[in-house]
Amino acid sequence: MENGATKTFFKLFSELEDCKEEEQKVKIEEINGVIDGMDKREFISIFTKEQFDKMYKMIEENKMSMENAILMLKHIGYLKELKFISNLSFERSLLSKRFEEMIADGNEKKYTKNEKLLADLWECHLLNKCNVTSNETLNTYIRRLLKIASNKEGKEEIRKEVEMALLALSNVKFYRILKKLYLEEISEIIQHHQKHRNLTQLAYQSAWGFLMNRFDNENSLGDAIVNELHFAREAARELEELSKGVDWKRGKETKEEFILLRWFRTLDSFFYLCKLWNEEFAGLIESIVRVLRTAKDSYGEISKKCAFSLRRAADSTGVKIEDLLKGGAVGVVLEEIQQSTIDHKTAYDCLNFFYFISWRMEEKGYDKMKEAKRKITKRELFEKMEEEGYEDTIASFYGLLRFLNKKYVDKLPTKISVYFMYD
């Protein structure tokens, strides 16, 4: 059964054929406003292959201009990426094939006089589908979109164009790209923002997302990310700022909420991949802890993301155990695991958090810290856990593991002793 937003969308969309181009543009902006209010299920049910094929047919019959189709499609892709909507219908559509043909023609100089159209086509393509036809095409995307993203003008229209270009780039995930094609430009974009605050919050997160996606294939990026661009410091500040804009009572969804969730995805990659350390890490852990304490009683999804990030941090060779202690991670995970309403996934992450810490503090753990330092840190951990009644909590909780979801229990060590920190 259609709800109000769905009915309104199809009503407005059916009226597009009878509009002149400028009137059609106004109506599409109205439609985009309707799309903003859709939930994920409704969004996916509307934007099917058939719907994109209808747009293609309207373009072919001169009932919709390409510019107006792009106006709607860019907004669809923007929301798809912002709200983590998996929607692969576009890439199977006739409209997608038409875009690919136009992009190929553009690369062959057919559209060199219309750079704006080409940039819009590239953004639509990257935002609405994940695969790219060739490395040559991808390299063209990256160079041109980085050029747009490097615009430092403060006008609102320019800031929006920069945001869209960086959001599109952040969707380039699984491709190995030569550093010479992007590192200097993306570093300059990030550093300029650190001095002048010229980017939107989404644009800044997207710039880091694009760079972190490259980290998976390029370990040498570590020094630039950690020490030159100061990822830990910047991520900590962004988490703090964005959490102020989240409606923790869940009256409505906010843009800050989705950007915050995007930061946690980037954090997970960072902790998984980074092998370097600097003194800013404890501050980042502290910010994650603050968000977790704010979210845990009212917003489960962000709470789960925090617990997972702390688990990743505990397993990271780039994060010191002292950072976890100083940042408050040990205390907050102890609090979390004692919650009577803890869910299976969070329980799994909390148990692994302590398992990783315990294993790393053993003499053969991969921290390889000096013996005197290791003993001091181990004593601090032991006292913290003893103070919070950790062993009793784990012992009682561990007895209930067989009632947890099997897919998590099967991945946990079976000996209870591995979760304990002995003095």
- What are the tens digits of pLDDT across the range 313-344? 999 989 999 999 999 999 999 888 888 778 88
Q: Residue 392 has what pLDDT? A: 75
What's the average model confidence in pLDDT over 21-29? 95
Is pLDDT at 229 greater than 80 in this prediction?
yes
C-alpha distance from residue 291 to each of 178, 239, 304 (Å): 36, 7, 11
The secondary structure of 392-407 as a DSSP string is HHHHHHHTTGGGS-HH
Distance CA 66, CA 121 (A): 10
What's the average model confidence in pLDDT over 369-392? 73
Is pLDDT at 253 greater than 70 in this prediction?
yes
C-alpha distance from residue 99 to each of 41, 63, 106, 120 (Å): 26, 17, 10, 10
Q: Residue 409 has what pLDDT? A: 55
Is pLDDT at 421 greater than 70 in this prediction?
no
Distance CA 172, CA 144 (A): 14
The confidence band for 414, taking pLDDT boundaries of 50, 70 and 90, is low
Q: Residue 340 has what pLDDT? A: 74
Choose between 150 and 246: higher pLDDT.
Answer: 150
Q: Residue 366 has what pLDDT? A: 46
Is pLDDT at 403 greater than 60 in this prediction?
no
Is pLDDT at 251 greater than 90 in this prediction?
no
Nearest of 151, 259, 266 to residue 202 by alpha carbon: 259
Q: Residue 311 has what pLDDT? A: 96
Is pLDDT at 225 greater than 80 in this prediction?
yes
Give me the residue spans of the domains in the chain.
Answer: 1-124, 132-214
Q: Residue 1 has what pLDDT? A: 46
- Tell me if 305 sits within 8 A of 288, measured CB to CB: no
Nearest of 263, 215, 200, 265 to residue 235 by alpha carbon: 263
The confidence band for 263, taking pLDDT boundaries of 50, 70 and 90, is very high
Poorest-confidence range of 10-19, 102-111, 133-142? 102-111
**Residue 109, φ and ψ in degrees, nearest 5:** 80, 5
Unique residue bearing structure tokens 């503090």: 361
Is pLDDT at 389 greater than 60 in this prediction?
yes
Residues of the chain above pLDDT 70, percent:
87
181-211: b (≥16 Cβ within 10 Å) or e: ebbebbbebbeebbeeebbbbbbbbbbbbbb
Is pLDDT at 126 greater than 70 in this prediction?
yes
Is pLDDT at 423 greater than 60 in this prediction?
no
**What's the burial of 216, exposed, middle or buried (CB within 10 Å: 0-12/13-18/19+)?**
middle
Query: How much is the pTM?
Result: 0.90
Q: What is the chain's mean pLDDT, rounded? A: 87
Is pLDDT at 410 greater than 70 in this prediction?
no
Is pLDDT at 407 greater than 70 in this prediction?
no
Poorest-confidence range of 32-46, 64-78, 122-136? 122-136
Q: Using one digit for the tens of pLDDT, what is the confidence trace for 166-182?
A: 999 999 887 788 899 99
Distance CA 81, CA 202 (A): 11
